[in-house]
Amino acid sequence: MRNSVGHSGLLIVLVCTLSACQIPFYANQKKQPAPAPVQVVQPKPVITKEQQAVKMLILNGEYTLSQDQLLTPTNDNAYDYFRAALKLDPTNTRAKGGLQGIVMRYVDLARQAAARGNYSQATTMLNNARIVDPTNLLIKEVATGLAEQIKSAPPVEPYRGGPNEFLLDASLLGKDDPKIIAKLTEIAQKLKVTNGLAMIIARTDVEGRWIYQKMRDAVPGYRVRGDIKLGSPPRVQLVPSS
Cis peptide before 45 (omega within 30 of 0): no
Domain 49-152 fold: 1.25.40
Model pLDDT, residue 30: 58
Query: What is the pTM for the complete model shown?
Result: 0.55
pLDDT digits 0-9 by tens, 69-100: 999 888 899 999 999 999 999 999 999 999 99
- Please write down the HEC assignment for all residues of 195-242: CCEEEEEECCHHHHHHHHHHHHHHCCCCCCCEEEEECCCCEEEEECCC
Q: State the Cα–Cα distance between residues 238 and 12, nearest whole angstrom.
A: 125
Contact 196, 241 (CB under 8 A): yes
Mean pLDDT in residue range 163-188:
93
pLDDT for 158 beyond 80:
no
How many CA atoms, within 13 angstroms, populate the side-chain half-sphere of residue 43? 3
Q: Could you tell me the residue ranges of all domains in the chain?
A: 49-152, 165-239
Q: How confident is the model at residue 12 (pLDDT cuts 50, 70, 90)?
A: very low
